[in-house]
Amino acid sequence: MSLSKKLIAEFIGTFWLVFAGCGSALLAAGFPEVGIGFVGVSFAFGLTVLTMAYSIGHISGCHLNPAVSIGLWIADKFETKELIPYIVAQIVGGVVGAGMLYLIVSGKAGFEIGGFASNGYGELSPDGYSVISAFVIELVLTFMFLFIILGSTSDKAPAGFAPIAIGLGLTLIHLVSIPVTNTSVNPARSTAVALFADTSAISQLWLFWVAPILGAIIAGILWRWLGSEKDS
């Protein structure tokens, strides 16, 4: 598969993750008075990955996330020459998805942009969690996300079920961490909406790059040993 086709697939997939996942939070979470809530938003994010994994997994691998691409690269499951182009395509796809959302939600009378489904800690945490709490949960949950991805896509795993495991894994991650950070585990998703938020989300964006990438690197290093055919 050519790199250009892979990048277009990553663009579309990350667009869908941000547009549908964050869109569920912005448009449906509290609508009209009792909406889908954070449980529904959690499933929406999981479904974006599940649907895209079946749609574009055979084209690009369906990373949709710079941390995932880096983790797979560390685990020796991804080519170095494709790493930066993938990350760029993911960020651009996410920003376009967030821009489309902005056009939609700003069309409502009395619209106030607020946090725009962005991530944060301290005063920007949905339940007031500290920077340390946010860093730890983003690191741990991204580690587990990469672990799920690496394990379910292994040649020795049951064929055809990886998208289900990965989608449900992301759902569970959101169920755990929405109250803490509004859930990132994805620097592209965090960057896309932070650009439109009417808060200090941009100033806190560093955490939602550093913690997920660090968690992904640790998972990739561990998997290179754990998934090896050779006994240590």
Contacts 24+ apart (CB under 8 A), 200-205: 200/120, 200/124, 201/115, 201/116, 201/118, 201/119, 201/120, 201/124, 204/119, 204/120, 204/121, 204/122, 204/124
| Pair 136, 212: CB distance under 8 Å | no
| Pair 187, 66: CB distance under 8 Å | yes
144 Cβ contact list (under 8 Å, min separation 6): 169, 173, 219
Whether 32 shows a pLDDT value over 80: the answer reads no
Q: How far apart are CA 149 and CA 200, in angstroms?
A: 32
| Pair 45, 170: CB distance under 8 Å | yes
| Pair 71, 77: CB distance under 8 Å | no
Mean pLDDT, the chain, whole residue set: 95
**pLDDT score, position 232:** 41
Residues comprising the chain, all counted? 232
* Whole-prediction pTM: 0.94
Provide the token pair at 151. 């394990």
What is the residue-wise DSSP string for 70-108?
A: HHHHHTT-S-HHHHHHHHHHHHHHHHHHHHHHHHHHTTS
pLDDT digit string, tens, across residues 101-160: 999 999 999 889 999 999 999 999 999 999 999 999 999 999 999 999 999 999 888 889
pLDDT digit string, tens, across residues 91-100: 999 999 999 9
What sign has the CA pseudo-torsion 103, 105, 110, 115? negative
- Spell out the domains of the chain, with CATH numbers in brackets: 3-226 (1.20.1080.10)
Dmax (CA) for the chain in angstroms is: 63
The phi, psi pair for 77, rounded to 5°, reads -115, 10
The SS3 call for residue 156 is coil
pLDDT digit string, tens, across residues 39-54: 999 999 999 999 999 9
Cis peptide preceding 179, ω within 30 of 0:
no
